[in-house]
Amino acid sequence: MTDAMPAGDRKPIAPPVDETGPLGWARKNLFSSWGNGITTIVLLAFVVWVLDWFLEWALFTANFTATTGAECRGGGACWALIREKFRYIFFGSFPYEQHWRPLFAVIAMLAMLVLSADRRMWNWRLLVIWGVGSFVTFLLMFGQLHIPLSLILAVALIAGGIGLALRSGLATPSERMAYYALVGIGAVGLVLRIAGVLPSWSIAIAPLSYVETSLWGGLPVTLILATYGLAFAFPYGILLALGRRSNLPLIKGLCVGFIELIRGVPLISLLIMASVMLPLFLPSGTTIDKFLRAQVAVILFAGAYIAEVIRGGLQSLPKGQFEAADAMGLNYPQKTLLIILPQALRVVIPPLINTFIGFFKDTSLVLIIGIFDFLNTANQALVDPNWAGFPGEVYLFAAFVYFIFCYSMSRYSKYLELELNKGTRR
Amino acid sequence: MRTRIVAAVAGLAASVVGFAGTAQAGKDLDAVRARGTVNCGVGIGTAGFMLADSQGKWKGLSVDVCRAVAATIFGDSEKVRYVPLTSQQRFTAVQSSEVDIVMGNATYTLTRDTALGLDFTGIYYYDGQGFMVPKKLGVKSAKELSGATVCVAPGTTTELNLADYFRANKMTFKPVVIEKVDEIRAAFFSGRCDVYTTDASSLAATRAANVPPPQTIDDYVILPEIISKEPLGPVVRHGDNQFADIVRWALYAMVEAEEHGVTSKNVDEMLKSDNPSIKRILGVTPGMGKALGVDEKWVYNIVKQVGNYGESFDRNVGMGSLLKIARGQNALWTQGGLQYSPPIR
């Protein structure tokens, strides 16, 4: 009978229930043979056992309300410790009643990072986002900012220079005039400033009380060291990578020497150099902020690693790309920024984010020079005799926070890979 | 302890740069006055001595000395800027003017006082190597420890002192040598050794913080014998004698106030005292402040805001704290201890 039916009227018969759905999936993947079945059951039992023990400790017998460490002893996890210490762990010795400032600074930095993760922002908007974000972050952290005249002049000089280099062939006469004006004002101003003709004038923005870096601590320190460490190390690493492939022996030699020197020593030794040796070489009475020294050490170190990652990307480009760019009559900056780097960077995104994740965690090494980043404020919370004896809780909490950051970065890298390879995917 | 290596490294560093305490007299004090705060280098979190509390405020016996210095110079013990330093950094930081005083629980030794271009200005805590045992052993004195297993860190002066002490007292011991502090503690508290030996202040901190439940702090005793000298003192740069004097006498004033029974609670009544010594100390009879180059009410400010030495000791490391360290060598000389202030007159 069925044969007589026209082919178009046949209803497809659904496969049997035990081959689809969760049941089918379990049968196929977990119980496909006796051996697999037994393994599954044993592992399940193990997971349940561990989970039971963990939940018993972390939730059911845990203490959330104790007011001293002594009350906590003997039971399960002492989350009351985190409750008591979380503000210190997050913000360190920042004045207690002003903790809203580092809180909003962290929010500003996260907003800045999330916004710059969006590809639609990858143009002039990125500069605005980072300018505003950094300004808000540091204004909140310091409370007062003094922008010296020389910095403004230097920015004008650099902005004009970049504009001239990139848009020399494309700019309208008036646009070019603006670049020349910027370069001129910046260069003349700086010379006059150094010669002492211009006064050491600065713009002071001081809405809040001043908090110096020795009081900073916790999450803002980790975020600032990692974010700005990598933000500065990235262009710096690109320059090093380009320099390493340069035809000019001096530039090439300097870049190779620097990269190999930095990669040849551990970050700890660089930090110790910056914090113990450097002050001895400065004239008596001059001190450079400890935080700044650590930040520069991180930038130098990350720069060398990023340079090597980017060099891998540059080497993967076929020679034809360079030649084609030359044939178009593009100058070196144009060729590099418009043709080479966009392709090279796309290739190296996974290893680059890997480097970023590594450095986010490596910043906790600043403990050895007495800077309290997030992990170290957590460590300090353990020293308090009132609350000591619960390292598990504190480290679990710290690990959880680190995991959130690192996992989001890794997910983002995955998204970015898909997004950027759309053109080559089939 | 690690003192020798640190001293050697710092000494080398100092000699490379040719430090010879070239600062002019008064320069450091002028800088402090102009700045409005005392830059005080503190160690990385040591319970009882220097530790940021839950609100991020630095507290402890060492921190109180810095506060006393600020009270002396500015009349306000809060005018201190704390700079956390590791033991590798602490001497460099004071040599390079990054801080004015280091309260890093540094042991006062001749090489540090001379070769590093530094000055120790007194002793705020007499530390030394001690022994901790479980109470259930029933041991009352280190002399009864013959045949004990002893947990000790390797390659330190602690290990040498231990061997010397047992040999001198014709006793035997079995060392359990473990590198990491956490592992030593775990070994001791789990009963792998009968005795744990290190600096007494560190023993007290360990007992306060690391006894695993269900045992408690009362299950362990620190024996009265102290077998080595580890005097801890404030460190300043060599060269500005007036600043060094202020740091020295700020600490002495705390001790002197305790000796005369002046506390933060009764200091206002003490202003009316007839005792000529107290009148001199508290500035009722002027002269002392002028001699030191500070306000006449300097001791009043220290005692009122920070407390006398005994109060600070009790609050931070003594019986009023969780560390429960006995006064021992740190008692006043009138009570059989070593804390002694030259007269303020």
Q: What pLDDT digit, counting tens, does each position of B9-50 carry?
A: 444 444 444 333 333 447 888 989 999 999 999 988 888 899
Q: Which residues pair with A401 in a beta bridge?
A: none
Answer yes or no: do B52 and A386 touch at CB < 8 A: no
Q: Do A74 and B213 touch (CB under 8 A)?
A: yes
**Is the predicted pLDDT of residue A260 greater than 80, yes or no?**
yes
What residues of chain B lie within 8 A of the CB of A380, using their CB? 44-45, 51-52
Instruction: Using CA coordinates, name the residue in chain A closest to B317.
Output: A385
pLDDT for residue B316: 93
Give the pTM.
Answer: 0.81
Confidence of residue A243 (pLDDT cuts 50, 70, 90): very high
Please tell me the CATH superfamily of domain B129-228, with its number. Periplasmic binding protein-like II (3.40.190.10)
Cβ distance of A87 and B54 shorter than 8 Å: yes
Give the DSSP letter of residue A373.
B
pLDDT score at A197 = 76
Highest mean pLDDT among A46-50, A193-197, A344-348, B236-240 belongs to A46-50
Task: Give yes or no for residue B160 having a pLDDT over 60.
Answer: yes
- Nearest by CB to A368, from B13, B86, B212: name it: B86
Q: What is the mean pLDDT of residues B98-108?
A: 88
- For the stretch B302-332, pLDDT in tens is 999 999 999 999 999 999 888 888 888 899 9
Contact list in A for residue B7 (CB cut-off 8 A) is: none
Token output for A386:
């009132």
**Domain ranges in chain B?**
3-126+231-335, 129-228
- Rounded Cα distance between A413 and A356, Å, is 10
Cα(A266)–Cα(A272) distance, integer angstroms: 10
Alpha helices in A148-281 (DSSP H): 149-166, 173-195, 219-244, 249-263, 267-272, 278-281
Q: What is the pLDDT of residue A122?
A: 79
Q: Is the pLDDT of residue B100 over 90?
A: yes
Q: Which domains does chain A have, with CATH numbers?
A: 2-62 (no CATH), 216-426 (1.10.3720.10)
Is residue B81 pLDDT above 50, yes or no? Answer: yes
Of B22, B52, B321, the CB nearest to A93: B52
Contact across the interface for A385 and B95, Cβ inside 8 Å:
no
Is A61 in the B-facing interface, judged by CB distances under 8 Å?
no
Please give the pLDDT value at position B115: 79
Structure token digits, residue A238: 């690109």
Nearest to B89 among A85, A369, A386 (CB): A369
The candidate with the shortest Cα–Cα distance to B84, out of B66, B71, B68, B70, is B66
pLDDT band at B54 (very low <50, low <70, confident <90, very high): confident
Judged by CB atoms closer than 8 Å, whether chains meet at B51 and A280 is answered as no
Measure CB to CB from residue B214 to each of A74, A88, A91 and give the nearest one: A74
CB–CB contact B56 A285 (8 Å): no
Is residue B6 over pLDDT 70?
A: no
- Residue A170 pLDDT more than 90? no
Please give the structure tokens belonging to residue B282.
Answer: 């508290």
Candidate from A191-205, A228-242, B127-141 with smallest mean pLDDT: A191-205
**Chain-chain contact of A272 with B88 (C-beta, under 8 angstroms):** yes
Nearest to A388 among B85, B210, B321 (CB): B210
Mean per-residue pLDDT for A234-250? 91
Cβ–Cβ below 8 Å for A290 and B98: yes
Contact A88 B17 (CB under 8 A): no
Q: What residue of B is the nearest CA neighbor of A91? A: B56
- Chain A positions touching B84 (Cβ under 8 A) are 214, 370-372
Contact A372/B at CB under 8 A = yes
Residues of B in contact with A102 (CB under 8 A): none
Q: Is A176 left (phi over 0), alpha (psi -120 to 50) or beta?
A: alpha
Which tokens in the block code for residue B127? 């530390």
pLDDT at A284: 66
Nearest to A230 by CA among A116, A335, A107, A128: A116
Is the sign of the CA dihedral B223, B224, B227, B230 positive or negative? Answer: positive
Range with lowest mean pLDDT among A152-166, A275-289, B19-33: B19-33
Closest residue of B to A385, CA-based? Answer: B209
E strand or H helix that includes residue A104 = helix A100-117
What pLDDT score does B13 carry?
Answer: 45
Mean per-residue pLDDT, B277-288: 91
- Quickly state the pLDDT bin for B2 (edges 50, 70, 90): very low
d(CA B254, CA B234): 14
- Is the pLDDT at B1 greater than 50, yes or no? no
Nearest residue of A to residue B23 by CA position? A284
Lowest mean pLDDT among A39-48, A174-183, B186-195, B309-318: A174-183
Q: What is the 3-state secondary structure (H, E, C) of B161-190?
A: HHHHHHHHCCCCEEEEECCCHHHHHHHHHC
Binding-face residues of A in 208-227 toward B, CB within 8 A: 212, 214-215, 217
To the nearest whole angstrom, how far is the Cα of A250 from the nearest Cα of chain B?
31
Q: For chain B, give the mean pLDDT.
A: 86
Architecture of domain B3-126+231-335: 3-Layer(aba) Sandwich (3.40)
At CA B303, angle to CA B240 and CA A215, rounded to 5?
Answer: 65
Residue of A nearest to B39 (CA): A214
Who contacts A131 (Cβ-Cβ below 8 Å, separation ≥6)?
A: none
- Interface check A287 vs B, CB under 8 A: yes
For A106-116, what is each residue's pLDDT tens digit?
999 999 988 88
B91 exposure class (CB count in 10 Å sphere: 0-12, 13-18, 19+): buried
Report residue A209's pLDDT band, with 50, 70 and 90 as the boundaries: confident
What distance in Å separates residue A207's CA from the closest CA in chain B? 21
Same fold, B3-126+231-335 and B129-228: yes
Helix (H, G, I), strand (E, B) or coil at A115: helix
pLDDT-based confidence at A287, cuts 50/70/90? confident
Distance CA A122, CA A129 (A): 10
So what's the pLDDT on residue A4?
Answer: 55
CA distance A228 to A221: 10
Distance from CA of A272 to the nearest CA of B (A): 8
Length reported for chain A: 426
Residue A407 has pLDDT above 50, yes or no: yes
Distance CA A242, CA A252 (A): 9
**pLDDT higher than 70, residue A98:** yes
